[in-house]
Structure 1
Amino acid sequence: MSHDTFEQTMMFQTKQEEEMATSDILQAVHQALEEKGYNPINQMVGYLLSGDPAYITSHQNARNLIRKLERDDLLEELVRHYLESHQK
């Protein structure tokens, strides 16, 4: 091994830290909110409207997960999905 090898910093990521799809994050947040007895839809809408992560429980790392998504990107994705699934 060369001297340069010892000076390089290696990155280690667990599976939980890997990129999650938006739908996976929404499902995980929904489940965590349900497990804690909250109305998931109301809580997520509160978060989307206010930007306040306090609407999302920290249970199951849900608060950190939802904050990985930009709110405007999330809203765009939700509207797109809704419209595509309700086309006649």
Structure 2
Amino acid sequence: MANDRTIHWGSRHEENEASRALRLAADAMRQKGYNPISQLSGYLMTGDPAYITNHNSARNVLKSLEREELLQELVRFYLRDQP
């Protein structure tokens, strides 16, 4: 009987620039006592960088990317294991 399974080689999720930026910002916000979900949501909804801490250059890293790129990465991450 033939095996019809496809073997996936390598990482299931290669970290890209948007993913790295989101992780860095979330870590910086946690370190400063902020809720990263609330803060990132505020930033993505309004575009106001004041929602993001300057700690570890998180604000500058996020501002270097388009908000659309960040949203796409969040959706990609959320849906990556969906059938």
| Structure 2: segments with no counterpart, 5+ residues | 1-15
Cα deviation, residue 25, structure 1: 1.0
Larger relative contact order (CA 8 Å, sep ≥ 6)? 2
Distance 1:22 1:76 in 2: 9
**What are structure 1's unaligned runs of at least 5 residues?**
1-19
Aligned-residue offset at 1:74: 1.3
- When normalised by structure 1's length, the TM-score is 0.71
Superposition pairs of residues 1-88 of structure 1, within 5 angstroms: 21-85=17-81, 87-88=82-83
Relative to the length of structure 2, the TM-score reads: 0.75
Asked if structure 1 preserves the Cα contact closer than 8 Å seen for 2:18 and 2:69, the reply is no
Tell whether the 8 Å contact from 2:19 to 2:73 is kept in structure 1 after alignment.
no
**Matched residue type, 2:27:** Q
After superposing on structure 2, the runs of 4+ consecutive aligned residues of structure 1 that deviate more than 6 Å are: none
Question: 2:59 & 2:68 partners in 1: Cα distance?
Answer: 17
Aligned equivalents of 1:80, 1:28: Cα separation in 2: 18
Given that 2:22 and 2:70 are in contact with CA atoms closer than 8 Å, whether structure 1 keeps it comes out as: no
Count of aligned pairs between the two proteins: 68
CA contact (8 A) 2:29 2:53 kept: yes
